[in-house]
């Protein structure tokens, strides 16, 4: 039964966006990937968290070799064996601490950003639905969310709303100055894109929304107070836009270099700011080489983000103290699993005797508590109590059991 918890994968700290976009998992494919990896690798439980900033696998396995195989199978499935150079792997307490940090947003590019909690919940929901998580990872999930809640309520990491979307708007201000007369086009319905568009709308920008599904564009435009445009006419609208935010789930480039070159000629080479928050990227990186185009992808926003995070980083140190407290509690629970067979055996042996002697139930409860608290001496406690049970069978009392367990 016993094994170790592992966390492995790539994130914005270990791999550039070019690598992360290649190993990203869509919601549509995630179920099949989980089922295949669990069966092929031999791990007992696993879950995959795939966001724009990380693709991480959380797993439980009694066999370390199966975890190495899991990593290789995943990268082979994605056709990116070279990404192994960017992959991290953590084990045991270190892995649990990492998972708790992720769920609490202490490991996010934007410390304190709220989106990770929903993404974390969704990842484990899919794993449960597909039957790839179980007793261990479900407990990790439950305790990670508890830790996350403690960090948010007991520290100030959520003060002063900061996110990648907010960072994009701050960057636009630095480039354009006054944004009140700017025309903004939101391409796609990604959450971070919508947030950025909403910030810009509050500043006073004129907002336009386009999406492959026109009805979706209409819905967003009603929510944000903008105008919906037809996606197939994207290039026709592009020349009149000052800021373009791209946040779609498309697997290919939505905006190309040739498209932008034609648009710039029509707008007399007036500057245009393009923010590509998509992973995989939806704007051809060559667009950034066009004169008067300011192109930023999600990694480029890091510098702006970090400038807004000094206060949160101070609070994050308090958060990590809270996390270690929760991690220690979880590891005690993990250790207690080692004595489960002994506890079950003890309960089986005293089941009938408890009915005859009500004092025995209290003593057994104390024994089980001590066995969980001190797994290293659980076998000694078990032996003492089984001897007492045999004494009961022979008609002897339980008068000295309490003192013997104290000295075990």
Please name every residue paired with 60 in a beta bridge, in sequence order, or none if there are none.
5, 45
Count the Cβ atoms, other than its own, within 10 Å of residue 285: 14
CA angle, corner 257, sides to 215 and 268, nearest 5?
Answer: 90
Please name every residue paired with 58 in a beta bridge, in sequence order, or none if there are none.
7, 47
Distances 125 to 46, 107, 186, 191, 322 between C-alpha atoms, Å: 12, 21, 30, 19, 25
- What does the alpha-carbon distance between residue 124 and residue 357 come to, in Å, rounded to a whole number? 45
Distances 77 to 32, 100, 145 between C-alpha atoms, Å: 11, 27, 30
Structure token pair of residue 221: 């435009």
Residue 32: alpha-carbon gap to chain centroid: 19
Q: Which of 148, 76, 83, 146 is nearest to 115 (CA)?
A: 148
Structure token pair of residue 85: 């150079």
Structure token pair of residue 8: 């492995």
Catalytic option among 25, 47, 52, 205: 52
Structure token pair of residue 389: 């049970």
Please name every residue paired with 10 in a beta bridge, in sequence order, or none if there are none.
55
Look up 52 and say whether it is catalytic. Answer: yes
Interacting residues of 49 by C-beta distance below 8 A, sequence separation 6+: 9, 55, 56, 57, 58, 102, 119, 120, 123
Indicate the length of the chain as a whole number. 408
User: What is the pairing mode between strands 54-61 and 45-50?
Assistant: antiparallel
| Catalytic residue list | 52
């Amino acid at each position: 039964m016993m094994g170790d918890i592992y966390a492995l994968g790539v994130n914005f700290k270990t791999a550039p966006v070019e690598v992360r976009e290649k190993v990203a998992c869509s919601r549509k494919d995630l179920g099949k990937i989980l089922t295949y990896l669990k069966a092929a690798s031999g791990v007992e439980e696993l879950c995959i968290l795939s966001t724009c900033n990380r693709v991480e696998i959380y797993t439980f396995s009694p066999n370390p070799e199966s975890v190495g195989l899991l990593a290789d199978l995943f990268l082979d499935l994605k056709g990116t064996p070279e990404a192994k150079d960017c992959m991290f792997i953590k084990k045991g307490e270190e892995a649990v601490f990492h998972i708790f940090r992720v769920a609490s947003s202490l490991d996010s590019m934007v410390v304190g950003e709220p989106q990770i909690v929903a993404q974390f919940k969704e990842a484990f929901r899919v794993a449960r639905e597909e039957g790839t998580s179980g007793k261990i990872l479900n407990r990790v999930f439950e305790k990670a969310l508890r830790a996350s809640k403690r960090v948010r309520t007991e520290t100030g990491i959520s003060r002063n709303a900061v996110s990648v979307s907010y960072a994009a708007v701050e960057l636009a201000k630095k480039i354009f100055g006054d944004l009140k007369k700017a025309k903004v086009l939101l391409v796609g319905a990604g959450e971070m894109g919508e947030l950025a568009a909403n910030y810009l709308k509050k500043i006073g920008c004129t907002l336009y929304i386009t999406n492959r599904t026109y009805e979706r564009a209409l819905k967003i435009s009603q929510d944000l107070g903008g105008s919906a445009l037809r996606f197939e006419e994207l290039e026709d609208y592009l020349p009149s836009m000052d800021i373009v935010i791209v946040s779609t789930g498309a697997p290919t480039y939505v905006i190309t270099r040739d498209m932008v070159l034609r648009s710039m000629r029509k707008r007399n080479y007036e500057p245009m700011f393009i923010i590509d928050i998509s992973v995989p990227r939806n704007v051809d990186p060559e667009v950034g080489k066009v004169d008067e185009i300011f192109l930023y992808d999600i990694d480029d926003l890091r510098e702006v983000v970090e400038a807004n995070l000094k206060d949160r980083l101070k609070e994050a140190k308090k958060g990590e103290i809270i996390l270690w407290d929760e991690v220690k509690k979880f590891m005690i629970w993990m250790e207690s699993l080692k004595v489960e067979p002994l506890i079950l055996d003890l309960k089986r042996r005293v089941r009938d005797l408890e009915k005859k002697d009500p004092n025995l139930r209290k003593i057994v409860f104390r024994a089980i508590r001590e066995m969980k608290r001190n797994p290293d001496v659980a076998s000694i406690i078990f032996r003492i109590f089984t001897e007492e049970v045999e004494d009961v069978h022979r008609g002897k009392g339980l008068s000295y059991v309490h003192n013997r367990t104290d000295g075990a």
